[in-house]
Chain A
C-alpha cells in the first residue's frame, strides 16, 4: 500500500479540482532539454549560448552579470528622426516635469521585463534595459538574469553604477507605478538602500498631449502616433512565459523576441522624450487641436502667457478644434482680461453648440458687469436660461440672474424717466 507523499498529493489535487498542466504536457514542454543538473556538469552550455548571442559576462563582487550592449550611431533614424536631434534639443521645459535639470548625458531610459504584472515580492524583473547617450552613440545596455540566483548582482550593479549617480535622471513610461517600484522592491530584498534619482515618467505628459489623438495610452499605441513601426512584435504578456520556458531549459533563441521588444521599448522611450521636449519647446505642430490644448494648459499653469496664447490659437485653428479647445481658450482670454476676443468666441460657441448654456452665461456676466449693457445682458441671460432644463440648479441660477437684470433695468428706466436726472 504505502503511497508516497507525492502520489498522495497528486491524487488529492486531482480530486480537489486543482488545475495544473498535465504531467505529459509538462514533460513535452521540457522536451529533451538537458536538465539543470546536467547543464552544470557540462562546460556550461547556457553560458556559451549567451556569449554566442552577444552577451558579455561582467564579474562583480556579488557575482556575474550578463549584459548585451546595442549601440546606435547618432545618425541612426528611429521613428523618422536621428538620435542626433537630442544634441540640439531644448530640454528646459521637459526638465520642469522631472523637477531636475535635464541634459542628454544625464538621462537613463529604463524599461524592464518581469515575471508578472504584480508588485509583490515574487515578481522579478528578469531583463533590465538602460538607454543612455555616450561617445556619440545612443547605447542600450540590456541586463539579463539567466537564472533567478543571478539577480542580486544585477540589482546591485544597477543601483550603484547607474541610478546611484548623483545627476541621474531616470526616464520611463509608466515606470512611476511599475518599473521603478519593482526595482525598489528588489533593492529592499537584497538589503540595499534604494537610490532616489530624479524621475521623469513620460506616461502622464504623453497622456496630456495625445489623449485626444491616441485611443489607448500604451507605449505601442503612442509610438505608432510618432511613426514608429513595429512588425511581428511580441505581446507583452508573452514575455514571462518565454522566460519560464528558458529557465526550464528552452534555448536562448526563444528569448530573442523578448530582447528585441525590450530594446525597441527603450528606443521608443528616447524618441518619445525627444518628441515631448520639442513639443514643450514649441517646435512642433499637429493637425489636431488637443495636443495644443494640452501644451497651452501647461503653459497657462506655468504662467507663460505668451506661449499659452500661441498654443491656444494653434488649437482653435485646427479643423478638429472642439468645444473643449475653444471653451478653455475663451476662459484663458477672460482671465487675461481680453474681453472683446473672449466675447467673440462666446458668441461663436453659442451658435456652434446650440445646447450649451455656458457661452451665454459668460456673455451675460460680461455685459452686466463689464460693459454694463443691461439690455444685451438680459438678452444673453434669457438665451442661457432657455438652454437650461427647468428645475435644474443652473435654471434657478439663470432665473435669478434674469430677475436681477430686469430689476436693474427698471431702476435705470425709472431714473431716466425722472426729469430731475436730466438736470
Chain B
C-alpha cells in the first residue's frame, strides 16, 4: 500500500474521520523556471550543469536580479525550495569575477553551518578557480586562523563568534572587511526576541566596521515562512529589504490533516493521549514503508514514541527507525541525517532540533504531536513532508492543552492565516548599551554618529559620565577601560547578571542553564522543582549574591508554583486610550516583587499537595508594560470576586499574548490589583519579563483587540465548566470563575466595538 492508498483508506474510515477537524489538500503545482542569467560566469554555469542543474527556479532568478541590482534581499520561500542557491550563486559570481571579493556567512548554529558548507563545497568542487571557504568558530584551531583571515573567500561563522572574536579584532580581518561584498544570514527567523535584538546590534557593529574600511556589503537573508520577513530583516540590518516569498519550485500534492484524539472520559473531558494516536498512525505509515518523520515536544516523548514505533514494526523495518534530538553527539546526528537523505532510515522521531534547515531530504509523511509553540514552527515541521513530485501528508495531532485544543478548533489559524511575526527590539536600552560599548571599543564614535537610535549622543554622554568612555578633544568618544566589553556580553542570555543553574550531581558539577534574576525568585528558590529538558531537578540552594542556583535531579510527581507579592509602580505612561468604562495604557513600570510561599502541585491532577515558605529579598524590575483599568460598575459584588475574575483574566491573557507575540508564556508576567494604588480601580497588568522590555507589552497595547478576542475564544472553546489550568486557571471551590472572566472579557470586547 502506498501513501495515496493509505490516505484513501483513512478518508473512508468514519471512526478516523470523526476525529479529523480539518483535511486540506493542496493540489500539485508545476514548477516555474527561468533560464540562467546571461551574465552568469561560464565556470559557474558549468558547475551547475555538472550537478544536473540546467535552469533556475523563478525565485532563484528573481533573487539574482534583485541582488545584481544592488538590493538587500530576504528569501522566504518554503523548506526545500533551493534557497541556498539564491545566495551561493551571486557570491560565487562575485568571487569568480574578482578574486579579492569576500563574503561572510552567518548561521545560528555550528551544525547548520557545517551542512551548508558541505553543499557549497559541492558547487565549488566543479569550478576551475579555487574558492576558499572556511568555517571560523570556537572549534577552529588557532594555527588555521591566520590563514582564514587572509585567504578565506567565504568565511562561515555564527553571531556569537562574530560578536566576541571577529568584530573586536577587526584590524586582523582587514582583507575581509575591505573587500566584503555580501553578508549572508541564513535562518533569519531564529533571530527574534532577546537573541534577535542582540544580533541586530551585532549587525549594526558589522556594518559600521565595514563602512570604516570603505565597504558597503549587501545583505542576503534566508528565512522560514514568517508573517513579516521584510520587517524583521529590515530591523536586523537597518535597511529596506526586497522580499522574495513566491517559490518557483514544483510541489507535489499535499494533504494536511488536523487530528483531535477521541474523548475517552466525557465527564472530565479527557482525551486519548496524543502520543498514542501518533503511534497508531506512525505504525501504519511505517508498516507500508512510507518514509515518516514525527515531532514530539520533549526528549522523553521522542524516546518513548520511537520505542513504540520500533516495537510495532516488523523486524526488517525495526532497525530503520531512529530517534534524533539535541544531546546526541554531532557525528551521531550527521549519520542519522545522512541515513535519511539516502533512504536507509525510514522513520525518525525528533524534537524540533530537526526543524531547522538541516538537510535530510524530503519525507513523505510528517506527524506533529502537540503544538510546538508557534504557527511558523508547526508549518516548518509540516514542511518536512513534501516532495517535488508525488503525494505527501502532514498530520497534526492535538494534545489536550489549551493552545492545542484552540488550534485544532481553528484550523484556519494553522493553515490559512499568516504565520506569526518574528519581533525584535534592538532599542532595548540594556542591549543597546551593551553593544554601544562593544562598538566604541571597536572604533571610536564620532560626535554626530548614530548607532540605531536618534539619542545615540545622549547615551554616549551617559557612558562618559560613568567613565566607560572618554570624550577626546576632537569630540570623538573612545573606550576607556582595560577589558574587552564583548566578553561580558552574551547574545543568547537575557539580562546581565544572570543566575546560572548548576547540577551538583554531575561530576564535575555542570551548568545546565541560566535564568534572569527576577524569574529566579519564583523558579529557583530553595525546594523549587526546576524542569530542564523534561528532567526534574530540585533546587538545593540559591546563592543570589554569586548568581548561582544549585540543583540535583529528582524523580517526583509534583511541580512547584511560587506566589509573588507584587507591587507595581507606574513610572511613565507613554500612551493611553479610553474605551467606555475601560482605559488601556502602555508605559514603563517598576515592579517590586517579594516571593512569599510556594505550593506543591501534583502533576496531571493539579492537586495542591503541600507548601513551603520562601526567604528571599525583594527584587526590582524596570520594564515596559500594558495595563487596563476597569470601572467598578462593570460588575462584581465583592473584592474577592473582583480578584478571582482579574486573576482568571490574567491567566488566559498570558497564553493569548504568547500566541500572538510568538514568545514563550514565561516571557511575560501578569499582575492584578483590585484597588490599584495609582488609579483606585481594578487593573490587570501585563509586562515584559526582561529588564527594559523587549516590545511585547507595546505590541499587546497595539493589538489588544485581537488578543482579547483570542483570549475570549480560548476560554469559550475550552470544554471545562468553571475553569481549568488550560484556560482561566483552576477556580476556588464553588467559584463560577469562568463566567466571571467571561463578563470581564465581554465588557472589554464590547467597549472596543463601541470605540471603533
Chain A interface (Cβ within 8 Å of chain B)?
1-3, 5-6, 8-9, 11-13, 15-18, 20-21, 23, 26, 29, 36, 40, 115-124, 147-149, 184-185, 188-189, 237, 240-241, 244, 247-248
| The residue from B174, B468, B484, B588 contacting A120, defined by CB atoms under 8 A apart | B484
Q: Say whether B497 contacts A3, CB under 8 Å.
A: no
Interface pairs A-B: 8 shortest CB-CB: A122-B441, A17-B497, A116-B482, A120-B168, A149-B472, A149-B474, A148-B478, A188-B171
- Decide: A149 near B476, CB < 8 A? Known: A121-B168, A188-B171, A248-B467: yes
Instruction: Return A20 CB to nearest CB of chain B, in Å.
Output: 5
| The residue from B168, B471, B482, B590 contacting A36, defined by CB atoms under 8 A apart | B471
Q: Say whether B482 contacts A5, CB under 8 Å.
A: no
CB-nearest residue of chain A relative to B465? Answer: A26
CA distance A207 to B557 in the complex (A): 62
| The residue from A12, A29, A237 contacting B691, defined by CB atoms under 8 A apart | A12
Q: Which B residues are CB-close (under 8 A) to A149? A: 472-474, 476
Q: Say whether A16 contacts B495, CB under 8 Å.
A: yes
B384 within 8 Å of A (CB atoms): no
Q: Say whether A117 contacts B691, CB under 8 Å.
A: no
Q: Say whether A241 contacts B482, CB under 8 Å.
A: yes
- Decide: A119 near B496, CB < 8 A? Known: A8-B588, A15-B620, A149-B472: no
Q: Say whether B470 contacts A3, CB under 8 Å.
A: no
The A-B contact count (CB < 8 A) is: 130
| The residue from A2, A121, A240 contacting B170, defined by CB atoms under 8 A apart | A121
Q: Say whether A13 contacts B430, CB under 8 Å.
A: yes
- In the complex, besides A1-B570, A5-B455, A5-B458, 13 extra interface pairs with C-beta distance below 8 angstroms are A11-B590, A15-B590, A15-B620, A18-B430, A21-B467, A23-B466, A116-B484, A118-B168, A119-B172, A121-B443, A189-B171, A189-B443, A241-B482
Instruction: Return A190 CB to nearest CB of chain B, in Å.
Output: 10
Q: Which A residues are CB-close (under 8 A) to B234? A: none
Q: Which A residues are CB-close (under 8 A) to B590? A: 11, 15
Q: Say whether A1 contacts B171, CB under 8 Å.
A: no
Instruction: Return A196 CB to nearest CB of chain B, in Å.
Output: 15
Instruction: Return B639 CB to nearest CB of chain A, in Å.
Output: 28
CA distance A26 to B479 in the complex (A): 16
B245 within 8 Å of A (CB atoms): no
Q: Which B residues are CB-close (under 8 A) to A124? A: 478
Instruction: Return B408 CB to nearest CB of chain A, in Å.
Output: 40
B459 within 8 Å of A (CB atoms): yes
Interface centre among B171, B433, B472, B497 (most CB of A within 10 A): B171
Q: Say whether B467 contacts A9, CB under 8 Å.
A: no
| A and B contact pairs by CB, cutoff 8 A, 14 listed | A3-B571, A16-B430, A17-B517, A18-B497, A29-B467, A40-B473, A115-B479, A118-B168, A121-B169, A121-B170, A122-B442, A149-B473, A247-B470, A248-B467
Q: Say whether B497 contacts A115, CB under 8 Å.
A: no
Q: Say whether A116 contacts B483, CB under 8 Å.
A: yes
B480 within 8 Å of A (CB atoms): yes
CA distance A253 to B657 in the complex (A): 61
The digit string for B571-601, where 1 denotes a CB below 8 A from any CB of A, is 1110000000000000010100000000000
Q: Say whether B440 contacts A122, CB under 8 Å.
A: yes
Interface centre among B473, B481, B496, B517 (most CB of A within 10 A): B473
B622 within 8 Å of A (CB atoms): yes
Q: Which A residues are CB-close (under 8 A) to B172? A: 119, 185
Q: Say whether A15 contacts B482, CB under 8 Å.
A: no
Q: Say whether A148 contacts B476, CB under 8 Å.
A: yes
B429 within 8 Å of A (CB atoms): yes
- Decide: A26 near B692, CB < 8 A? Known: A5-B455, A122-B168: no
CB-nearest residue of chain A relative to B471? Answer: A36
CB-nearest residue of chain A relative to B475? Answer: A149
B730 within 8 Å of A (CB atoms): no
Instruction: Return A123 CB to nearest CB of chain B, in Å.
Output: 8
Q: Which B residues are CB-close (under 8 A) to A147? A: 472-473
The digit string for B486-508, where 1 denotes a CB below 8 A from any CB of A, is 00000000011100000000000
The digit string for B613-651, where 1 denotes a CB below 8 A from any CB of A, is 000000011100000000000000000000000000000
B444 within 8 Å of A (CB atoms): yes
Q: Which B residues are CB-close (under 8 A) to A237? A: 482
| The residue from A1, A120, A184, A188 contacting B572, defined by CB atoms under 8 A apart | A1
B462 within 8 Å of A (CB atoms): yes
Q: Say whether A115 contacts B588, CB under 8 Å.
A: no
Interface centre among B429, B455, B482, B495 (most CB of A within 10 A): B482
CA distance A1 to B459 in the complex (A): 20
Q: Which B residues are CB-close (under 8 A) to A13? A: 430, 433
| The residue from B168, B459, B483, B570 contacting A9, defined by CB atoms under 8 A apart | B459
Q: Say whether B442 contacts A36, CB under 8 Å.
A: no
Instruction: Return A387 CB to nearest CB of chain B, in Å.
Output: 37
Q: Which B residues are CB-close (under 8 A) to A148? A: 444, 470, 472, 476, 478
Q: Say whether A121 contacts B171, CB under 8 Å.
A: yes
- Decide: A244 near B480, CB < 8 A? Known: A8-B429, A21-B466: yes
Instruction: Return A207 CB to nearest CB of chain B, in Å.
Output: 20
CA distance A20 to B482 in the complex (A): 14
